[in-house]
Structure 1
Amino acid sequence: MNKKILFVIPDGVGIRNYLYSDLFHHLQKQGFQIHLLHNLEIQILNYVKNERGIEFSEEPLRKVTESRFQQFLRETSTYARLKHNSRLKQNSTILTNWFKVKNNPLKRIFQKATELASATLSNYDGIKYLEETNRLKWRRSPAYEEFRSDIRRIQPDLIFITHQRVATLEPLCLAAADMGVKTVTAIFSWDNLPKARLPIRTDFYAVWSEYMKSELLEYYPEIPENSIAIVGTPQFDFHFQSNLLESREEFAARYGLDASKKWILFSGDDELTSPHDPEYLKDVASALDSNPQVSILFRQVPVCTVNRYQSVLDHYSNITHIPPKWGKGTSWMSFYPLFEDVKLLMNLCHHCEFSVNIGSTIGLDFAYFGKPTVFLAYDTVQDKNWSTEVVYKFQHFRSFEGLDAVVFAKEKSSLSTLLNEVLEKPDQFSTQKHLWRDKIATNKENAPSFSQIAAFLESMFIEKEAVQE
């Protein structure tokens, strides 16, 4: 029996988690054929094939246009879901994920209309009704017929969508369902579900942990429990691959570092998440300036330039800029990590004493290496539109309530003392980071996520064969 899986990779974020992982190697050894639908550029695909030595057939993903009315339905139901989730969790910060249009009057009027329309949805059934209406529109759209044609031509036995956030993949899911082809989507990030970022519906959902499964059932009670598979996430698999690590001396030589010093990592955020990030980098550099045995390694968020930090980098000699190793195609969706960046992040986690940032997922990466993370939890600039007090009330940060998972730096005045204490006695800080890590991303019996995903996909084929017999 031929076994073909169609992987849908809407943008560059799927490269690290799937194309770089050992998932495709494993599936190919098991006799699976792999076909990609993607929004990637040919040089990216050639790089992946050469770097990882994997084979697959591929073609561009159709460009689907969402009608204005469908956008109205989707955004109205999204805002209604955010309000519902906010009430459900008694957490008003969930509504901060509704980004207000400011500089475009026509778009602002459109958004205001969706906000007013959402007020007419008096209960959860109203939200579901609006979403079903949108699916009916998709089923009657040209995109639905085009995806049916694609599925007939490609003839996949299973469709795997590498993240759940792209609304224009709904006609693909509907076409597959009507043709008897099972679909799976992976939940991309640990903060996505409270944010109403599940615009598509598939037959199965691949989640990171029991915690994420319970979230999915709570926010989307219409989804059957038996359609949810706990498989971890491949983005952390690399932390178990010691062959990716360099010696401290090799790493120091590569980046012009002093191997005798202690290194800490300051990982930057994008401007929306942390608009005053350069000031925080300045605070950390100033706090450690009097300690000659410490170097700060600075890594900006991969899709942003270093420009807004440049004056701080120029001023402080105790900061070494180590930029991410990402490539860039012709559009913003074409940013993608080189495999060298996977190695770089691994070595930063391994060689640095701890990380410092504003609520970054890198805290989980460091937890895999038994290293603490310091979350900066004070306002270095007074800003009526942004505050760390709001940031750390975000729903996904409730995952470490009751756990000594991270270190909170709550005052700028005591930052130097705190950072030096963490440097001297790291084992006394964030003593339950491993419990938080395992709560967020499960590795069953220390099995890497790619093998859990592969086993789940294989089980679906075994079930299909049993039904056919």
Structure 2
Amino acid sequence: MNIIGVVITDGVGYRNYILSDFLQEVVKKYDKVVVFSGISIEQYPKEYSNLEIVELPVFVEGRLTWFYRKLKELAHLFLHRNKTFGIRDTLSFSYPKTNSPRALLTKLAFFIAKNYHTEKNIKVYEKFQFKSFKNSGIYKNYTLLLKQYTPNQLFFTHQRPPFLAPLVAAADELKIQTTTFIFSWDNLASKGRMLGTFKNYLVWSDLMKQELLEFYPEVSPNHIKVVGTPQFEPYVLDRYHISRDEFYNKFNLNSSQKIICYSCADSSIGKNDEIHIRAILSFINKTQNLQLLVRTSPAEDGKRFERLKNEFPEIKWNFPKWFLSREGHAEAWSQRLPSIEDINDLKAILQYSDVNVNMLSTMSLDFMLFDKPVVNTVFGNKENGLYDDQRFLNYVHYKYVVDSGAVTIATNENELHRYLEEALQQPNLRSKERKQLIDLEIGAPLEGTSQRIVEALKSL
């Protein structure tokens, strides 16, 4: 019997693998599909007879497990710190600024990792990390679940969540083949070590395959499959759609005016969002027939924009309709799930907006998939007192975007106004560059992405 276990950890994984076509494709190809879920089982469809949903008990790291995991992640960063600015930046902002007990332990981990960070050292840290939870009830529970459902292979839809380490360890002990999907375009060149070592890897593109081999040289090229990403597949699925009229009515937009959409970063790195929004408004105030629609990050509730909402009632807002599916989880953010309404809203925003402004986010790709002009706002640096968002221009995943010419980069309000004017007057000016960047970053058509992933899993 051919059984696959699929591990879905959070709301974004739910969007990518449940709201895409993945589920309906994978149940066709396997005798049984078992979803090991980090979110509530009530959220899953019930119509597939060979699908079973198993809710994973929540694993909370003990101090020793946390320490060895931190050592492993930091050692990986120190090993590769000379390769990218993003890794050096991650090391810099991760160093504690206080002397709390947790901060002192982190400083100790920094000291050890800085001096001992070979691949051999990293494997030792992981060995001790896994050993530290082998006697825990959660690890024993995970082992029993895998023995009960007997998957031939286990597919992790995200390679980073640390609370899944016991599941990787249990699969290794039971000799179950593991495969992971590299979740995001920035996860290799600026992040710490993955949660464990996997047998096989699915990646977006040939570019991501090269990065995986660069930062994980012990991975065999034969165990990497280029499949694209399910993140964008809903954009080509007919079931997600609202008409232009419905869109304008829903957000109270003026059909005779062009739309500038500003998509916010989350609060941790979007500290200049309000400044960027005010700069767009100053452009609109001196230009005719324009309106502003702001989409906030799904990771937050938008309360930080209350003052802006009250001051500028003419701004239209899209607060992503994600809902908290389960209380009391160790990673509360992971329990926020997207609604179908939000998929429809986002797709409509991409279809019907005329230009997008954002601070170097993946939303640049979303809008480029609809061939829309994109302006990236990075007003802050070390000299002007604003949050230093210009440093992200040096992250390798975004240098490809900048160097492609597919977007324009506004470092101040005057540049933003100039590039908005260009985008509105010549929307097709950078169309060729946008298509080339999409081919580089995503690497496969959106159509058939889920089928491609399932076929890759079968071939492994």
- Using the size of structure 2 for normalisation, the TM-score is 0.91
The question of whether the paired residues in 2 share the 8 Å contact of 1:76 and 1:114 is answered with: yes
**Residue 219 of structure 1: CA displacement?**
0.6
Q: 1:161 to 1:124 in 2, by over 3 A?
A: closer
**Residue 265 of structure 1: CA displacement?**
0.9
Question: Corresponding residue for 1:313?
Answer: 309
**Residue 266 of structure 1: CA displacement?**
0.5
**For 1:266-296, what per-residue CA distance to the aligned partner results, in whole angstroms no more than 9, with x for missing partners?**
1011121121211211111122122231111
Supply the distance in 2 between the matched residues of 1:302 and 1:111 (Cα, whole angstroms).
30
- Structure 2 matches for 1:322-361, cutoff 5 A? 322-329=318-325, 330-331=327-328, 332=332, 333-361=334-362
- Structure 2 matches for 1:120-131, cutoff 5 A? 120-121=115-116, 123-131=118-126
Letter in 1 for 2:28: K
What SS does the corresponding residue of 1:402 show, helix, strand or coil? helix
**Residue 107 of structure 1: CA displacement?**
1.2
Letter in 2 for 1:81: H
Structure 2 residue corresponding to 1:118, chosen from 94, 113, 116: 113
**For 1:57-77, what per-residue CA distance to the aligned partner results, in whole angstroms no more than 9, with x for missing partners?**
222213334332232222122
Supply the distance in 2 between the matched residues of 1:407 and 1:368 (Cα, whole angstroms).
16
Question: Corresponding residue for 1:23?
Answer: 22
The question of whether the paired residues in 2 share the 8 Å contact of 1:190 and 1:212 is answered with: yes
Supply the distance in 1 between the matched residues of 2:337 and 2:99 (Cα, whole angstroms).
30
User: Is the counterpart of residue 13 in structure 1 residue 12 in structure 2?
Assistant: yes
Worse-matched range after superposition: 249-258 or 356-365: 249-258
Supply the distance in 1 between the matched residues of 2:169 and 2:419 (Cα, whole angstroms).
54
What SS does the corresponding residue of 2:287 show, helix, strand or coil? coil
The question of whether the paired residues in 1 share the 8 Å contact of 2:233 and 2:447 is answered with: no
Question: Corresponding residue for 2:187?
Answer: 192
What SS does the corresponding residue of 1:342 show, helix, strand or coil? helix
**Residue 167 of structure 1: CA displacement?**
2.3
- Structure 2 matches for 1:74-85, cutoff 5 A? 74-85=69-80
The question of whether the paired residues in 2 share the 8 Å contact of 1:367 and 1:437 is answered with: yes
Q: 1:314 to 1:381 in 2, by over 3 A?
A: farther
CA-based RMSD of the aligned residues comes to: 2.4
**For 1:328-351, what per-residue CA distance to the aligned partner results, in whole angstroms no more than 9, with x for missing partners?**
232523111011111111111000
User: Is the counterpart of residue 459 in structure 1 residue 454 in structure 2?
Assistant: no
Question: Corresponding residue for 1:206?
Answer: 202
Question: Corresponding residue for 2:297?
Answer: 301
Question: Corresponding residue for 2:398?
Answer: 397
Supply the distance in 2 between the matched residues of 1:271 and 1:15 (Cα, whole angstroms).
22
The question of whether the paired residues in 2 share the 8 Å contact of 1:15 and 1:336 is answered with: yes
What SS does the corresponding residue of 1:86 show, helix, strand or coil? coil
Supply the distance in 1 between the matched residues of 2:176 and 2:260 (Cα, whole angstroms).
48
Q: 1:76 to 1:37 in 2, by over 3 A?
A: same
- Percent identical residues: 27
- Structure 2 matches for 1:388-427, cutoff 5 A? 388-400=389-401, 402-427=403-428
Question: Corresponding residue for 2:278?
Answer: 282
Worse-matched range after superposition: 350-359 or 321-330: 321-330
User: Is the counterpart of residue 67 in structure 1 residue 67 in structure 2?
Assistant: no
Worse-matched range after superposition: 243-252 or 213-222: 243-252
Question: Corresponding residue for 1:259?
Answer: 255
Worse-matched range after superposition: 81-90 or 257-266: 81-90
User: Is the counterpart of residue 163 in structure 1 residue 158 in structure 2?
Assistant: yes
**Residue 121 of structure 1: CA displacement?**
0.7
Worse-matched range after superposition: 296-305 or 139-148: 139-148
The question of whether the paired residues in 1 share the 8 Å contact of 2:270 and 2:359 is answered with: yes
The gaps in structure 1 that reach 5 residues or longer are: 461-469
Supply the distance in 1 between the matched residues of 2:245 and 2:354 (Cα, whole angstroms).
16
Structure 1 residue corresponding to 2:235, chosen from 236, 239, 244: 239
Question: Corresponding residue for 1:464?
Answer: none
Number of aligned residues: 453
**Residue 186 of structure 1: CA displacement?**
1.1
The gaps in structure 2 that reach 5 residues or longer are: none
**Residue 145 of structure 1: CA displacement?**
3.5
Question: Corresponding residue for 1:34?
Answer: 33
Letter in 2 for 1:4: I
